[in-house]
Amino acid sequence: MSKMQKDFVPALAHNWLTPLYDTAIALTTREGRWRKLLLKAVDPQPGDTILDIGCGTASLAIRLKSICSQARVIGLDPDPAVLTIAKRKADQAGVNIEFVEAMGDAPPKSVEQAGVTKITSSLVLHQVPLDGKRAIIRKAYELLPPGGCLHIADFGEQRTPLMRFLFGAVQRLDGIEYTQPNADGILPKIMRDCGFSPVEETNVIPTMVGSISLYRAIKQ
């Protein structure tokens, strides 16, 4: 097992806070707004196989499957505690989601062979070191077919003094080293460096804890 596979930041930086994750996200990030925009951008269709990298408690994966029951949805996360919550939520919602315990840069062969058509990631990459961000996005590029799309919703460039100030709360929780590259606007550059084109920042949503950017990146 690699160092990256051993080391990951739990959903709210500490394992004991994991049960509070859904509530915290709902209260602080205008979740309804950015999730609605992300779901519209992904537009799940019959025949899609959608991989949700860092699926967490499956809030996005459940919505994707609920919109299109004929789409195959795979939720991937390295945290067994958060996957326990995710499985319970999926059962309660009555949706069939495949959950895989693995790091985003090292999915098992079953995911490699799944025929992924779209990849999503939400509020994950700001918790990952710079080399991890690159590795996850590079792996997403490898998994997608030509024309496949990567959809990311995460803290992006913090463009105003207010957003930079508010983002400080996230940085105190998750650490400056991991979060600052996001705040400096690194994600679109990494996507382009990995081969995606075009790469677009489609929406910027100001929140109580900084701005969340939505990105769409195509593999040619």
pLDDT band at 27 (very low <50, low <70, confident <90, very high): confident
Cβ neighbours of residue 200 closer than 8 Å, sequence gap 6 or more: 215, 216, 217
The CATH code of domain 3-218 reads 3.40.50.150
The CA distance from 89 to 179, in Å, is 28
Q: What is the mean pLDDT of the chain?
A: 91
Say if residue 1's pLDDT is above 50: no
Say if residue 6's pLDDT is above 80: no
The C-alpha angle with vertex 50 and arms to 48 and 51, in degrees rounded to 5, equals 155
For 127, the enclosing helix (H) or strand (E) is none
Say if residue 125's pLDDT is above 80: yes
What pLDDT sits at residue 2?
A: 35
Residue 128: Cβ-neighbour burial (10 angstroms; 0-12, 13-18, 19+)? buried
Say if residue 12's pLDDT is above 60: no
